[in-house]
Structure 1
Amino acid sequence: MRPAGTFRSSRLVTAVVVAVLGGTGYAAPASAHLAAQQDPVGVTTMSAGRLGATLAALLGLAGSVVGALALGRRGVGRRGAVLALTAGVAGMALGGLVVATSDSGVGTGNGRGGGYLALVVGLLSAGLGALALARARRVG
C-alpha cells in the first residue's frame, strides 16, 4: 500500500520529465542543422546549442537551489528532494545532448562549454536531491 501523496508526486515528476525532455526533440534537429553550417557564430547570437545549454544549466541550477532547501528542510521536504533529483537528471540529459550534437570545440558557438557546465550543475542537483530524499526517508 502506497502513502497518499506518492501518486501525486509521481505524476509531478512524470510531467516535469516529459515537459523538459519532450522539448529536446525540437532542439536536436535544429542543432544538427547548425552543425551543417560553416558560418562563424557571433558572440551575441543565440544558437540552438547555446539555447539548449542555457536551458539545461538553468534547470540544473534551479534543481540545486531546491535540493539545498530540501536538505535544509525549509518547508520543501520530500517533494523538493524529488523535484531536485528530477531537475538534475533532466539537466544532465539535455546537457549531454548538447555536447553530443555539437561538432566543434568550446568557444565556437555550439554550446559545448555550456553543455559541460550543465552536466556538472545537473550532477550537483541530482546529488543534493538524492541526499535530501535519503534523509526524508530516514526521518519519516
Structure 2
Amino acid sequence: MSVGRVGASLSALVGLLGSVGGGLALARTSTRGRAITWARRNGAVTALATGPVALVVGGTVAATADGGLGTGNGLGGAYFAMLLGLIAITLGWLARSRSHRTR
C-alpha cells in the first residue's frame, strides 16, 4: 500500500462518514434509537466538518499522484473522496438550512 492509497482511502472513509451523517440528518425516521437521535442532531455538523477534510485530502492526493488511474497511486480513491466530500458538504448544508427554517 502506497501513501497515496492510504491517504485516499482514509479521506474516502471520512467523506463517507460525513455523507452518512448528513443523510441521516435529512432523513425523517420514525425510530427513536440513540444513534438516530444523535445523527439527526449532529449529522449536519459532522457532514460540514468532514466534507471539506475529505475534499482537501483527496485533492492533495490527486494533485501529487504520479501517473494515471490504475497505477496504484490512489488517484481513483482521491477522486472518489472528493466526490464524497462534495456530497457531505451538500447534505450538511441542506440539513442545516432545513433546521433553521423549522425553528
- Shorter-normalised TM-score: what interval? 0.7 to 0.9
Higher relative contact order (CA 8 A, sep 6+): 2
Given candidates 64, 68, 76, the residue that maps to 2:23 is 68
Letter in structure 1 aligned against 2:88? S
Larger gyration radius, structure 1 or structure 2: 1
**1:95 equivalent in alignment to 2:58:** yes
1:43-82 aligned within 5 A: 46-73=1-28, 74-75=36-37, 76-82=39-45
CA offset digits 1:77-129 (Å, max 9, x no partner): 35220111111111011100100111211111111111001111111111101
> How many residue pairs get matched?
95
Normalised to the residue count of structure 1, the TM-score between the two structures is: 0.64
1:1-140 aligned within 5 A: 46-73=1-28, 74-75=36-37, 76-140=39-103
Q: Distance in 1 between matches of 2:99 and 2:57?
A: 28
Letter in structure 1 aligned against 2:5? R
Q: Distance in 1 between matches of 2:87 and 2:100?
A: 20
Identify the range of structure 1 (126-135 vs 70-79) with the bigger mean alpha-carbon deviation. 70-79
| Contact preservation (8 Å) 1:77, 1:136 | no
CA offset digits 1:29-48 (Å, max 9, x no partner): xxxxxxxxxxxxxxxxx110
Identity, % of aligned pairs?
Answer: 53
Structure 1 residue runs without a partner (length 5+): 1-45
Structure 2 residue runs without a partner (length 5+): 29-35
Q: Distance in 1 between matches of 2:102 and 2:59?
A: 34
Q: Distance in 1 between matches of 2:41 and 2:95?
A: 7
RMSD: 1.2
Q: Distance in 2 between matches of 1:79 and 1:120?
A: 22
Normalised to the residue count of structure 2, the TM-score between the two structures is: 0.86
